[in-house]
C-alpha cells in the first residue's frame, strides 16, 4: 500500500481556498470544519480521528476518558486547566465526550504523544 503524506502547508492552502466556499453555504460549515480536523489529524498523526457518537458524560466518565482520578479531574477543572466546558442538565454536570476527545488530540503534541 502506498503511503500518502499530507503537509500542514497543504492543509493551510486547502483551508484558505475552501473557507469562502463554506461561508457561502455551498459546503456546510460543520462539514468544512470536520474535513480540516480530519486532514490535520492525518498530517500530524498519520491516521484519521475515530468516528465517535457524541454524547454527554458525567464527571467520573470524563475523568476516566482523560486517565485521571475524579478528585484530580475536579481540581484541574476548577483551576481552568481544560478548554472544554461543562454543561448543566437539570441539576447534573455533564461534558460532551467529543469536546474531551478534541482536547486530548490538541494536547498530544504538547505532552509528546
- Same domain? For 73 and 38 the reply is no
- Same domain? For 104 and 60 the reply is yes
Backbone phi and psi for residue 27, each to the nearest 5 degrees, phi listed first: -115, 130
Residue 27: domain span:
8-45
Q: Is position 79 within any domain?
A: yes
Alpha helices in 1-113 (DSSP H): 8-23, 29-45, 59-66, 70-78, 97-111
Number of separate domains in the chain? 2
Per-residue model confidence as pLDDT tens for the chain (113 residues): 456 788 999 999 999 999 999 999 999 988 998 899 889 888 888 888 877 888 999 999 999 999 999 999 999 999 999 999 999 999 999 999 999 988 988 876 554 44
> Coil, strand, or helix at residue 95?
strand
Nearest alpha carbon to residue 108 among 31, 40, 60? 40
**Whole-model pTM?**
0.57
Amino acid at each position: 500500500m502506498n503511503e500518502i503524506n499530507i503537509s500542514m502547508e497543504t492543509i493551510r492552502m486547502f483551508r484558505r481556498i475552501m473557507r469562502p466556499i463554506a461561508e457561502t453555504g455551498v459546503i456546510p460549515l460543520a462539514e468544512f470544519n470536520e474535513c480540516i480536523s480530519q486532514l490535520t489529524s492525518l498530517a500530524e498523526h498519520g491516521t484519521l480521528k475515530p468516528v465517535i457518537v457524541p454524547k454527554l458524560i458525567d464527571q467520573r466518565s470524563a475523568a476516566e476518558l482523560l486517565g485521571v482520578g475524579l478528585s484530580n479531574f475536579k481540581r484541574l477543572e476548577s483551576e481552568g486547566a481544560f478548554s472544554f466546558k461543562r454543561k448543566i442538565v437539570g441539576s447534573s454536570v455533564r461534558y460532551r465526550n467529543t469536546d474531551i476527545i478534541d482536547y486530548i488530540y490538541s494536547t498530544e503534541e504538547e505532552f509528546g504523544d
